[in-house]
Amino acid sequence: MSDGALSQAEIDALLSGVDSSSTGGPASPTALSGNDDERKALHDLLTETDENQGRALSTMTGTTVTFNGPEVSFSNRDLLLGQLPDQVAAVKADFSAGFPGEHMFIMGEDTAKRIASLLNKEDNIALDEMALSMIGEVVSQLVGTQITALTKATNNTSIASISPEAVNVPRAVVALPNGTFPVALYNIDLGEGTQRQLWEVYGPAVSSNIAKAIISAIAAKKAPVRQPAVAVAMPSMNNMQGAMPMQGYPMPTYTPPNVQSVQFPNLLPQNAAMEQGNIGLIMDVFMEMTVELGRTKKLIKEILSMGEGTIIELDKLAGEPVDILVNHKLIAKGEVVVIDENFGVRVTEIVSPVDRVNTGE
């Protein structure tokens, strides 16, 4: 399922005591074992992302968020459901390319409400559609951090994920992968001194492929680099004797090579004619020119509440010059004019290169 919840048919099958996703009997609720090399590879990868994930969530919530863990183990549906709270927010974030397969985050309903409250700057928020979309955006940031680490660890630049979609459902309705799968358990502190749990679930196929790629990449880095063998031909004694001059013949004279000092070009700036000739090589390169009327900052809830007729107040006063940017770099300022029913901009000021460097543009 794309939204992290089971279908009605799957729910009916579970209620009747039959798991529609499996072919055998019910899974054992005891601890499961798996490939320890794959578990360790996944653990090492996720451990490297802890700090970046905490930093990303801190930026979004405006409070100090820390990630502790993860504890990576193998689980199944029955075993994991026994660890989850009764009501959860499940966020599907399947990998769509690179290592395609099932991937999701699960958190308790109270944890999801706390995150949404921090994002919305509002206490006791209801976990409605808008709040769930905020949780999906948080997971999107976490997945982006993991994709960056995965790309670095495996040299696979095609890794991508679907847009995360969150649902608030009872734990029994969460659409978990089939069979045995790895689970990463994080303890997170949302700036309140309380440890909250966050589960990350990987489908068996995607976790195995990721782990194998990491193991292969590490093995390739550790493999010794073999230098190509170079055969050196040593002259034999017979050849050396044959090369010796015969009696009565003079030894050949050695002529030293003609060595001259290297003449380096002058490093001083060239004249304007040379600069004009060089810049002519890029005169036909297209560049994007943008006129920026102004900017503003909005909360997520304000952006989601926008509709037709909404007025957005910018940081520029009426009559102030607008910014003219080329490839997102400020180069000039101007005033808006109307030319034959079309908008235009009259340049009133050129920003010097020195000013652009000083302002960081």
Percent with pLDDT over 90 in the chain = 26
Please report the pLDDT score of residue 2 as a whole number: 47
The sheet carrying 195-202 orders its strands as 66-75, 181-189, 195-202, 103-108, 87-92, 165-170
**Helices H / strands E in the chain, number of each:** 10, 12
Per-residue pLDDT, 247: 56
pLDDT digits (tens, 9 = 90+) for 295-328: 898 898 888 888 888 888 888 888 888 999 888 8
Q: What's the predicted TM-score (pTM) here?
A: 0.56
C-beta of residue 206 within 8 angstroms of C-beta of residue 101: yes
Structure tokens at 168: 């608030």
Label residue 105 by pLDDT band (50, 70, 90): very high
| 292: its two tokens | 């920026």
Q: Does residue 197 carry a pLDDT above 90? A: yes
Q: Roughly what angle, to the nearest 10 degrees, separates helices 36-61 and 204-222?
A: 100
Residue 183: pLDDT band by 50, 70, 90 thresholds? very high
More confident site: 342 or 265: 342
Residue 339's pLDDT band (cuts 50, 70, 90): confident
Token duo for residue 213: 């790629």
Q: Class of 287-303+312-361 per CATH?
A: mainly beta
- Measured CA angle at 360 (ends 280, 137), to 5 deg: 110
DSSP letters spanning 141-197: HHHHHHHHHHHHHH--TT-EEPPPEEEEEEGGGB-PPSSSEEEEEEEEE-SSS-EEE
All CATH 2.30.330.10 domain ranges of the chain, comma separated, are 287-303+312-361
What are the angstrom distances between the C-alpha of 341 and each of 337, 338, 344, 347? 10, 6, 10, 19
8-220: CATH topology? Chemotaxis protein chec (3.40.1550)
CATH 3.40.1550.10 residue spans of the chain: 8-220
